[in-house]
Amino acid sequence: MEVIWHARGGQGAFTAARALGAAAALSGGLHALAFPTFGPERRGAPMRAYTKIAASPIGDRSALRQADVVAYLDETLFDDGWEAELKPGGIVLLNAPHPAADPRIVCVDADAISAEVLGRPIPNTVLLGAIAALSDVVTLEDVHEGIKATMSVRLQEANLRIADAAFKAVGGGGSARASQELDARVAAGARPVTVHDASEAARQNVTRTPYLRETFALPEDFARSTCFTGGHLVSENAGWRSVRPVLDETVCTLCLQCYLLCPDGTIFKVRDEEGNVERVAVDFAFCKGCGVCAKACPAGCIRMVPERKEARA
Ligand code: SF4
Ligand code: SF4
């Protein structure tokens, strides 16, 4: 079984890829390989990870072009090219709260399921539980062992519960192969599967506000850098930023290097009543905490501080 994971840096796709490989290799008695590919950026940028599972040692360490399962941890990465990556009989696992038109796409509200346990949406383990439910390659017990082998003790208990919830939500019995499951669905003319297994309260905790930039009051004051299109977020930061930039305005020279180099176009100009730029500011709804601005600032007036401490003071 081969799996392509689509996600943004920071959403835990590589952890999920490794946990699935560990589930198959350490618990399921198979051979596995897991590795990521990252783009030119870091946190928040589109990335991919891969898991290969086989009955014999795997020599091919190249990236996958097609897979039996293509998992999207972030719905904004799903586009018209999805079919090209899917093997015949394969299945797409999409983190989305609504049904898909194509029966090959299984929608799982992974943000809501994980938010119900963790208090914030971290969708990676949800899709692990879903894979256990839709495949006979790994069982839920294997996935448990994979989580224990790859996650810190502090995170294990919550992620085991998330995997259990996802397995149950997808209707897991652990017996049907994904392709057989799919064939049966299609033959029966079944409607696309959508899983809503989280409370309304948890669902309300999940922020989905697409394309806010187009409605911002001063769109002309955001930069359009060369890497803006490739890496920018189109929905609000989902809560995975761990550090944030803090600007010392008393030292800032208004050179605008941070404004120009922020890969997400998140820094904007603030103008006075006459229209002159008086300072720069960060749109924290979109900032992903990558730290590029802090490295770029020639005056050294941007510090990256832990999100949960000084930043919220
Ligand atoms: S404001 Fe700074 S930390 Fe935030 S996304 Fe832009 S460069 Fe990265
Ligand atoms: S790079 Fe530093 S000095 Fe230049 S505008 Fe940004 S914060 Fe100010």
* pLDDT above 70: residue 23: yes
Atom of ligand 2 nearest to the CA of 254: 5
Substitution site in 224, 234, 267 for ligand 1 pocket (most atoms within 8 Å of beta carbon): 267
Sketch the domain layout of the chain as residue ranges.
Answer: 2-204, 212-312
Rounded to two decimals, what is the model's pTM? 0.64
Least trusted range by pLDDT, from 66-80, 166-180, 223-237, 273-287: 223-237
Separation in Å, CA 85 to CA 1, 184, 200, 204, 258:
14, 22, 34, 32, 37
CA dist., res. 172 & res. 228, Å (int): 40
From the CA of 263, which ligand is nearest? 1
Number of Cβ within a 10 Å radius of residue 135: 25
Which residue's CA is the closest to the ligand 2 atom numbered 3?
A: 252
What is the CA(280)–ligand 2 centre distance, in A? 8
**Averaged over 259-265, what is the pLDDT?**
83
* pLDDT above 50: residue 230: no
CATH number for region 212-312: 3.30.70.20
From the CA of 294, which ligand is nearest? 1
For domain 2-204, the question of CATH label 3.40.920.10 is answered with yes
- Evaluate whether 2-204 and 212-312 have a shared fold: no
CA dist., res. 145 & res. 155, Å (int): 13
Is 182's C-beta closer than 6 angstroms to any atom of ligand 1?
no
